[in-house]
Amino acid sequence: MILSPLHDRHTKLGARMAPFAGWNMPIQYCGIVAEHQAVRESGGIFDISHMGEFEVVGAEVVTWLNGLLTNDLNSLSDGEGHYTLMLNPRGGVIDDLIAYRMGEDRFFLVVNAAKIEEDRDWLESHLVPGIDFADRSKEFGAVAVQGPAVATAWSRMELEHPLPKRNGALECEDGVVVCRTGYTGEDGFELFAPVEAIGSWFDRFVDEGVTPAGLGARDTLRLEKCYPLNGSDLDAEHTPLEAGLGSFVKLDKETDFVGRDALVSQKAEGLKQHLAAITMTGKAPPIRHGYEVCDPDGEVILGKLCSGSLSPSLGRGIGLAYLDAEDCHPGKRVSVRVRERAFPAEIVKKPFI
């Protein structure tokens, strides 16, 4: 198992560690609920050293990447980033990622840990002359610093650079990249630093009062905002349109992209399934990945939860499931089966909070 450059710090802080995408990562320190609330109310810091970082350079880089990603990179100015997806020819998801334009001919891509190899192989298999692709994942450690108070923490630290604006990215002289993005729905930033430097950055934020938070809280925070998790909510069989991510898919951009034809036909035929948001309506056990979503009587199975958790902010179970389009309207009553018993639930509008 791969150890994060912050591993010793996690151990010292008493974190509970668990395997995640081949890495031994902190799941929680003081408790998922407390860490979740710290991020919603003030600030938390997550080790995201497992994430992958790619650099792509070339005069025709915009055109090349636009042929492999769903969003339109022409909409980005230097120092700006956006969420985008990489699809297979059937329109299914290989990975979801953030692409930052670092310069006219240079992009920084941040991809999911479990998909680094698959993404790299896919991109390299499409390489054309004039494009330089580099997987820099092993060079970077990274932290996500998230919450309403972290921007002021940054200011207090009197660093050389101000934080970039929302979705922006900034390169510092010491090889550090700071991006005003995240996976919690709160203001915050992600900081990528050379492996040997990430520890001192972690310490500085903790010294500023930012609470260490683990992957457990990262999951409850993202689920409350309906941010999809690749491998659970996104997969090679479902398209971003079914996942409700149509706003990140630019079917009419200049460049044709892998998966576009499949999406165009799917749109023309009408979507048969949607990734629906489900809330428990009464007292019920926490709902989890794999539990069955049924009709209100618990007799007809409508689908399975691809994500499910207790929402610390709402105090009840929330989840996502692919359901037939006619079952997906907000207000529709359903149930979730937990240990052979059906508990009442309903479809709600996204996000949960």
Partner 1 sequence: MNVPDHLYFSESHEWVDPALPESATVGISDHAQAELTDVVYLELPEVGRSVSKGEAIAVIESVKAANDIYAPVSGEIVEVNEALAEAPEPVNEDPYGEGWMIKVRLADADEVEGLMNAATYRDTIS
Pairing of strands 273-280, 211-212: unpaired
Q: Restricting to residues 33-92, which ones interact with partner 1 according to CB under 8 A?
A: 33-34
Q: Are 102 and 54 in contact, with CB atoms under 8 Å apart?
A: no
> Residues 312, 319, 337, 343: which binds partner 1 (CB under 8 A)?
312
Taking contact as CB under 8 A, which single stretch among the options 38-46, 94-102, 253-261, 306-314 is the one that binds partner 1? 306-314
Angle formed at CA 276 by CA 181 and CA 187, multiple of 5 degrees: 15
Least distance in Å: CB of 279 to partner 1?
16
Least distance in Å: CB of 317 to partner 1?
9
Least distance in Å: CB of 327 to partner 1?
26
Q: Can you state the percent helix, strand and coil of the chain, rounding each to 5?
A: 25, 35, 40
Q: Restricting to residues 272-301, which ones interact with partner 1 according to CB under 8 A?
A: 285-286, 288
Rounded-to-10 torsion of CA 233, 164, 139, 107: 70
Angle formed at CA 87 by CA 101 and CA 81, multiple of 5 degrees: 15
Instruction: Examine residue 310 and tell whether it contacts partner 1 (CB under 8 A).
Output: yes
Q: Could you count the other beta carbons within 10 Å of the beta carbon of residue 110?
A: 23
How long is the chain?
A: 353
The two structure tokens encoding residue 94: 């290989």
Beta carbon nearer to partner 1, 225 or 288: 288
Instruction: Examine residue 31 and tell whether it contacts partner 1 (CB under 8 A).
Output: yes
Q: Could you count the other beta carbons within 10 Å of the beta carbon of residue 42?
A: 17
Least distance in Å: CB of 284 to partner 1?
8
Question: Which residue matches tokens 């680094």?
Answer: 116
Q: Are 145 and 210 in contact, with CB atoms under 8 Å apart?
A: yes
Instruction: Examine residue 344 and tell whether it contacts partner 1 (CB under 8 A).
Output: no
Instruction: Examine residue 27 and tell whether it contacts partner 1 (CB under 8 A).
Output: yes
Q: Restricting to residues 176-195, which ones interact with partner 1 according to CB under 8 A?
A: none
CB-facing half-sphere around the CA of 113: CA atoms within 13 A = 19
C-alpha–C-alpha distance, residues 48 and 4, integer Å? 9
> Residues 6, 25, 26, 28: which binds partner 1 (CB under 8 A)?
28
Least distance in Å: CB of 11 to partner 1?
17
- Applying CB under 8 A, the site for partner 1 has a residue count of 16
> Residues 5, 91, 185, 216: which binds partner 1 (CB under 8 A)?
216
Q: Could you count the other beta carbons within 10 Å of the beta carbon of residue 108?
A: 21
Instruction: Examine residue 149 and tell whether it contacts partner 1 (CB under 8 A).
Output: no
Pairing of strands 301-311, 177-179: unpaired
Least distance in Å: CB of 302 to partner 1?
22
Least distance in Å: CB of 217 to partner 1?
9
Least distance in Å: CB of 146 to partner 1?
18
**Interface with partner 1 (CB under 8 A):** 16, 27-28, 31-34, 216, 220, 285-286, 288, 309-310, 312, 339
